Amino acid sequence: MTGEVLEPSIATVITGLIGLLAGGALVLFMMRRHVQRTIRQPLEIIENTTAGIAQGAVSARIVLPEDADASVTQAALAINRLADRAAHDIEDMRRLERVRSEFIANVSHELRTPIFSVQGYLETLLDGAMDDPDVAIPFLEKAYLNAMRLNTLLNDLIDISRIESGELKFSFRYFDIVDLINELVHTSEIRARQANVTVHFSYDDARSVYGDKERLSQVLTNLIDNAIKYNVDGGRVNITTSACDDGVRIEIADTGIGIPEQHLSRIFERFYRVDKDRSRAVGGTGLGLAIVKHILEAHDAQIELTSQAGRGTRIVFTLRSGEQV
């Protein structure tokens, strides 16, 4: 009796167990498939794509199937963001590298011209021209002018590299801008007379500005020099300082050759010149306006340049005003 009762129940248990095992195996199989599809395969995609990115495919990004596990998808998105930032940084580095090599090429080119000239004049003198005073004197003068050009160029290069590397420290204080401009106008008189250009300066009561006097003197010298250099015979340069809401407004306007519109957007770039031959002939280096812009930026002063070819150029910027000096 007991055996009869036992037999079916063992069978039932065994059947049940087999069923359970089969069910368990099926669940396990389904789970494995799910894990395979939602975790393992996406992880493989991540591994392969990141390996590709590391080998230089900087634009490659991880694309996962829609049913990938949420946390794996989050990780993939984070890696993609990182790759975006790295690609952006690499592009920036490449751009800087291009700018640097362009700059070096420009510098070499600019240095070569006066060095070759000095070399040429001295060689001709040594080859016998020294004995002929009619040739010797002008050649020596030309060699000297080119040596001066080299000196100006090197000074501008040193300035621009010190400003751009942040090495140049500015020393801010209050000073009288009217006194400074009067001095500079006085210093420019010989150059203006040689070019047959007259320089006028008018001002109101606003005299005290806050800035680096030496550097602003460099800015003003550069702008006044340009207004004289790129002027016409009998032309004028009008300098005006006046009080305005934000400080003291400084304007340098000339009646010179002006700058054709297509050049205006690039005029503050290093070595950019409208007419290279004219710039060289008047001792330009092509770095003046780039230096001016950097110095004014350090004073939070925006430079505005308007110009019309054949009519003249007007440059305006505002310096912070201060207590009465």
**Listed ranges 18-26, 109-117, 170-178, 272-280: which one lies at the site for ligand ADP (CB under 6 A):** 272-280
User: In the chain, at which residue ranges do the beta strands (DSSP E only) sit?
Assistant: 173-176, 198-203, 208-211, 236-244, 247-254, 304-308, 312-319
Closest CA to 272 of 114, 106, 105: 106
Strands 312-319 and 247-254 come out as antiparallel
Cα separation, 153 vs 286, whole angstroms: 9
Quote the tokens at residue 26.
């099926």
**Listed ranges 25-33, 114-122, 193-201, 285-293: which one lies at the site for ligand ADP (CB under 6 A):** 285-293
CB 287 → ligand ADP: shortest distance, Å?
6
Which amino acid does the sequence have at 159?
Answer: D
Nearer to ligand ADP, 14 or 281 (CB): 281
Quote the tokens at residue 40.
């393992």
CB 58 → ligand ADP: shortest distance, Å?
37
User: 239 forms bridges with which residues in the sheet?
Assistant: 201, 252
- Angle among Cα 116, 122, 126 to the nearest 5 degrees reads 140
Which position among 274, 296, 301, 303 is part of the footprint of ligand ADP (CB under 6 A)? 274
Q: Does 267 bind ligand ADP (CB under 6 A)?
A: yes
Which position among 259, 295, 301, 303 is part of the footprint of ligand ADP (CB under 6 A)? 259
Q: Does 313 bind ligand ADP (CB under 6 A)?
A: yes
Q: Residues in contact with ligand ADP, total (CB under 6 A)?
A: 22
Nearer to ligand ADP, 38 or 231 (CB): 231
Which position among 53, 257, 295, 301 is part of the footprint of ligand ADP (CB under 6 A)? 257
Cα separation, 68 vs 74, whole angstroms: 10
Q: Does 251 bind ligand ADP (CB under 6 A)?
A: no
Q: Does 275 bind ligand ADP (CB under 6 A)?
A: yes
CB 197 → ligand ADP: shortest distance, Å?
11
Cα separation, 166 vs 299, whole angstroms: 14
Nearer to ligand ADP, 74 or 161 (CB): 161
In the chain, what is the greatest distance between 2 CA atoms, to the nearest angstrom?
A: 145
Nearer to ligand ADP, 177 or 287 (CB): 287
Which position among 38, 146, 208, 285 is part of the footprint of ligand ADP (CB under 6 A)? 285
Cα separation, 128 vs 125, whole angstroms: 6
User: 315 forms bridges with which residues in the sheet?
Assistant: 252, 305
Which position among 153, 178, 192, 289 is part of the footprint of ligand ADP (CB under 6 A)? 289
CB 226 → ligand ADP: shortest distance, Å?
3
Cα separation, 254 vs 132, whole angstroms: 43
Q: Does 110 bind ligand ADP (CB under 6 A)?
A: no
- What three-state secondary structure class fits 310? coil
Q: Does 188 bind ligand ADP (CB under 6 A)?
A: no
- Name which of residues 216 to 245 contact ligand ADP (CB under 6 A): 222, 226-227, 230
**Listed ranges 26-34, 36-44, 178-186, 255-263: which one lies at the site for ligand ADP (CB under 6 A):** 255-263
Q: Does 247 bind ligand ADP (CB under 6 A)?
A: no
- What three-state secondary structure class fits 282? coil
Place of tokens 């010797």: 136
Q: In this structure, what DSSP letter does residue 36 have? A: I
Which residues are within 8 A (CB) of 21 and not within 5 positions of it... i.e. 6 or more apart? none
**Listed ranges 24-32, 103-111, 180-188, 278-286: which one lies at the site for ligand ADP (CB under 6 A):** 278-286
Site residues, ligand ADP (CB under 6 A): 222, 226-227, 230, 254, 256-259, 267, 273-275, 279, 284-290, 313
